[in-house]
Amino acid sequence: MKREENGFNASSGSWLLSFVLGGLIGAALALLVAPRSGRQTREQIRDLAEDVKEKAGTYYDKAKDQISTVMQKGADLLEQKKTELETRVSGVKEAYRAATGSKTADASKEEGAG
């Protein structure tokens, strides 16, 4: 199963996270060096922290949903392959029994005739 098929692409998620974190760090630094009163700076930092918390929660929820989807698809594929394997093993067992049963029956006929 390819990453593109299931819609999950780890590299784009890493890129997005890096971009968001870089922007937030830049914004925090801009707040710290901006000429404002201590109270105003603390309020801005508090607001920024709330925004970061919300964005991180949203990113976490999206990642969790994608992982759940991938895990479910993997479980479904595993179950499908397990069923296919069980069917093939059963067929091989039946073919083996048929092959060994026919040889045994032929040998019994030869012994009875001989």
The pTM is what?
0.46
As a whole number, the mean pLDDT across the chain is 79
Does residue 2 belong to any structural domain of this protein? no
* Per-residue model confidence (pLDDT) at position 1: 44
CB-neighbour burial class of residue 64 (10 A; exposed 0-12, middle 13-18, buried 19+): exposed
Does residue 4 belong to any structural domain of this protein? no
Q: Token digits for 77?
A: 């594929």
Distance, in Å, from the CA atom of 79 to the CA atom of 89, rounded to the nearest integer, reads: 15
Distance, in Å, from the CA atom of 114 to the CA atom of 111, rounded to the nearest integer, reads: 5
Distance, in Å, from the CA atom of 76 to the CA atom of 7, rounded to the nearest integer, reads: 16
Strand, helix or coil for residue 86 = helix
Task: Give me the phi and psi of 34, to 5 degrees please.
Answer: -70, 140
Does residue 5 belong to any structural domain of this protein? no
Does residue 72 belong to any structural domain of this protein? yes
Residue type, 2: K
* Per-residue model confidence (pLDDT) at position 48: 83
Does residue 106 belong to any structural domain of this protein? yes
Does residue 90 belong to any structural domain of this protein? yes
Tally of domains in the chain = 1
Residue type, 84: E
Does residue 56 belong to any structural domain of this protein? yes
Does residue 109 belong to any structural domain of this protein? yes
Distance, in Å, from the CA atom of 13 to the CA atom of 19, rounded to the nearest integer, reads: 10
Average pLDDT rounded to a whole number, residues 39-58: 85
Please give the distance of CA 20 from its chain centroid, rounded to a whole number: 23
* Per-residue model confidence (pLDDT) at position 27: 78
* Per-residue model confidence (pLDDT) at position 11: 61
pLDDT at 3 over 70: no
Domain of residue 91 covers 11-113
